[in-house]
């Protein structure tokens, strides 16, 4: 019998109206939205269900919104009696994975990611940082080009190693623009600028990491009941002290998503259950290994329909 991993999406998966059917029809899900509103002191649920889209896209709102939808769907899904051997999340999604594995309470998580979003938005003045998706380049070739551009033009680094042929870069606006223009030198077929409010997962985020570390120092973290695969190391993190350190580092370190999935495959995981808005992670995981079973739990109906 193969093993199962729960995986949770990060920024980019959000959509106005996400989770509404679960809120309307599943008591356990509705309770999570109500707990988020209470923990934050404003109606996050209203913003999630009704928008406007521009407000939901602001990092400071997107992060608690995606976490809330993931945990609302997780609470509904738990009734199916399916358990995970491992958990992982993409960037922000790592917090959902940590809630799922009992490391931190939902209330602490939703307040922390709201602060994380604020710190990330504040770290670099608007317009000075950027991100772009690089399609078709090999990791080592792109890393070498980034190093050259960083020395000549402005800092630019690998930010998300998502799947073969898809890597996101992050850094100064000038550095990212240079990769847009010179991507072919690293074998890129296309370089697509992303609509983001800052250069996430680059060294420019170190001021945000320092502030986040202060917040994390005052929150109770427990050891993980289920190993969580950390973005920073692509390996399991179980001890609270290590998780606390890695969460601060995660803000300015690359998200090693492809490596994380390959690690899980190596541990015998053949079923991945994506819990939260959209199907972004299902798409990435399929590109890593087509033979895996991938299920997306992104609505009330998908909770009911799931059979492994």
Give pLDDT, residue 83. Answer: 95
| Chain segment 135-182, per-residue pLDDT in tens | 999 999 999 999 999 999 999 999 999 999 999 999 999 999 999 999
Report the pLDDT value the prediction gives residue 140, as an integer from 0 to 100. 97
Query: pLDDT tens for residues 263-291?
Result: 999 999 999 999 999 999 999 999 999 99
Cα diameter, the chain: 56
Which entry of 91, 253, 277, 299 is annotated as an active-site residue?
91
Domain interval for residue 229:
3-123+204-305
| 90 catalytically annotated | no
pLDDT of residue 197: 81
User: Are 7 and 112 contained in the same domain?
Assistant: yes
- 215: cis peptide before it, omega within 30°? no
**Residue in 90, 101, 170, 201 annotated catalytic:** 201
Question: Is the same domain home to 59 and 208?
Answer: yes
Same-domain status, 102 and 239: yes
Q: Does 50 share its domain with 192? A: no
The encoded tokens of residue 291 equal 């033979």
Radius of gyration of the chain (CA): 18
For this structure, is 201 an active site residue? yes
Q: For the chain, how far is it from start to end, CA to CA, in angstroms?
A: 11
Of 144, 168, 196, which residue constitutes the final position of a domain?
196
Are 189 and 250 in a shared domain? no
Task: List C-alpha distances in Å: 89 to 39, 122, 155, 231, 255.
Answer: 22, 24, 26, 8, 10
Per-residue pLDDT tens for 44-94? 999 999 999 999 999 999 999 999 999 999 999 998 999 999 999 999 999
Residue 181 and residue 92 share a domain: no
- Residue 196's pLDDT is 85
Q: Are residues 67 and 115 in the same domain?
A: yes
**92 and 13 in one domain?**
yes
Alpha carbon separation from 92 to 8, 210, 235, 249, 273 (Å, rounded): 9, 17, 17, 13, 17
Do 158 and 294 have their domain in common? Answer: no
CATH number of the domain bearing residue 160: 3.30.70.250
pTM tops 0.95, yes or no: yes
Of the residues 196, 217, 246, the one at which a domain ends? 196
Q: Name the one residue in this structure whose structure tokens are 């692509």.
A: 234
Interval 117-127 mean pLDDT: 93
Q: At what angle do helices 280-288 and 257-266 cross, to 10 degrees?
A: 60
- Counting the structural domains of the chain, the total is 2
CA–CA dist 254, 246 (Å, integer)? 12
């Amino acid at each position: 019998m193969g093993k199962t991993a729960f995986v949770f999406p990060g920024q980019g998966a959000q959509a106005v109206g996400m989770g509404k059917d679960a809120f309307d029809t599943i008591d356990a899900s509705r309770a999570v939205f109500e707990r988020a509103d209470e923990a934050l002191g404003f109606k996050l649920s209203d913003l999630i269900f009704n928008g406007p889209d521009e407000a939901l896209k602001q990092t400071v709102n997107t992060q608690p919104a995606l976490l809330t939808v993931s945990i609302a769907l997780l609470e509904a899904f738990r009734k199916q009696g399916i358990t995970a051997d491992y958990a992982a999340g993409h960037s922000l999604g790592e917090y959902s994975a940590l809630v799922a594995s009992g490391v931190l309470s939902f209330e602490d998580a939703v307040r922390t990611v709201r602060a994380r979003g604020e710190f990330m938005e504040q770290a670099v003045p608007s317009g000075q940082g950027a991100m772009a998706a690089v399609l078709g380049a090999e990791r080592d070739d792109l890393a070498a080009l980034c190093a050259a551009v960083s020395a000549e033009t402005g800092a630019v680094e690998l930010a998300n190693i998502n799947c073969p042929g898809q890597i996101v870069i992050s850094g100064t606006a000038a550095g990212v623009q240079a990769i847009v223009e010179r991507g072919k030198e690293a074998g890129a077929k296309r370089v697509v600028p992303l609509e983001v409010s800052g250069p996430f997962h680059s060294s420019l985020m170190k001021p945000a990491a320092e502030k986040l570390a202060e917040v994390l120092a005052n929150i109770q973290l427990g050891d993980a009941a289920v190993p969580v695969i950390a973005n920073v190391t692509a390996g399991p993190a179980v001890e609270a002290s290590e998780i606390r350190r890695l969460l601060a580092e995660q803000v300015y370190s690359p998200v090693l998503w492809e490596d994380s999935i390959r690690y899980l495959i190596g541990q015998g995981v053949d079923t991945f259950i994506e819990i939260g808005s959209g199907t972004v992670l299902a798409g990435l995981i399929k590109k890593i290994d087509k033979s895996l079973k991938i299920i997306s739990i992104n609505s009330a109906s998908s909770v009911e329909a799931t059979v492994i």
